[in-house]
Amino acid sequence: MSQRDSESRTLKTVSRLIKIIEVLARSGSIGVTTLARRLDLSKSTVHAYLKTLEENGFVVKGGEKYQLAHELMLLGESIRSQHILYQAGRGEIEELATETGQYAHLTIEENGKGINLYQARGETVAGYEYQSAKLHQPDHLHLTAAGKAILAFLPRDQVEVILNRHGLQRHTVNTITEREALFEELKTIRECGHAFNDEEEIDGFRAVGAPIRRPDGELLGALSVSGPTSVLAGDRFYEELPKAVTRTANEIEVSINMSNKYSTSSHRPGDR
């Protein structure tokens, strides 16, 4: 077997493992036969992959079904806890949720989609399955307030790549599905410093977002506050919340900047 054939086979094996993990994540627990049918693979092949994952602690078996091990949750939490935006922004997001009484989110861009790094819930808001689901799946950036705040401060060619890859899916009648219309809104967001989601992701819900950047302009992510249209209306939606989210974004930026300066001063050239 040539080196190229060997590399191709190895990549195919890794790709299959990833697909199995993705199906297990969506399904909760699943049997070998059902999993093999979904992936169009033989039962013996799928069983071999599952046994490998089980031996390495990534999968557990209960009866005749397999599911992802909770050890993966620890790995995910370790990744999140190392992110500078999570370290600097978690407390601020909690305070923003308390202040507004609504849901507040801390979001980053990864592979062209929005990943909810942290979510806090205000005391006066009801629990929504929609909000719980946001923690377990990436968002399209063009239809959320935080997502549009992120897109507005990315280079245009990077935004074009994201749109080419993920498109502009329509979720409601208010979703922006025309590319030039989106770029016009992104221009407005850059000028005013905040973004709106006016029932563009889900009917009956609104949100306001703001970008979070380093002093040199590097984009780190965004934050947002969301709630029902009956609550986020009038001046509260168009005046109060934009001030609250931009203030909180600035506070997180200052915290990150101070942390970086302290780290730099504590590790001067020649220190060991």
Token pair for residue 157? 């060619």
Give the number of residues written for the chain.
272
Given the structure tokens 């689901």, which residue do they identify? Answer: 133
**Does the model's pTM come out above 0.85?**
no
Q: Residue 42 region, left (φ>0) first, then alpha (ψ -120 to 50), else beta?
A: beta
Written as tens digits, the pLDDT of the chain (272 aa) is: 555 555 566 678 888 888 998 899 888 889 999 999 999 999 999 999 999 999 999 999 999 999 999 888 888 888 888 899 999 999 999 999 999 999 999 999 999 999 999 999 998 776 666 666 666 688 999 999 999 999 999 999 999 999 999 999 999 999 999 999 999 999 999 999 999 999 999 999 999 999 999 988 899 999 999 999 999 999 999 999 999 999 999 999 999 988 766 555 444 444 43
For helices 43-55 and 3-27, the axis angle rounded to 10 degrees is 80
Spell out the domains of the chain, with CATH numbers in brackets: 3-73 (1.10.10.10), 83-263 (3.30.450.40)
Contact 193, 165 (CB under 8 A): no
Token pair for residue 176? 């922006």
Please state whether beta strands 195-198 and 59-62 pair in parallel, antiparallel, or not at all (unpaired).
unpaired
CB atoms within 10 A of CB 199: 17
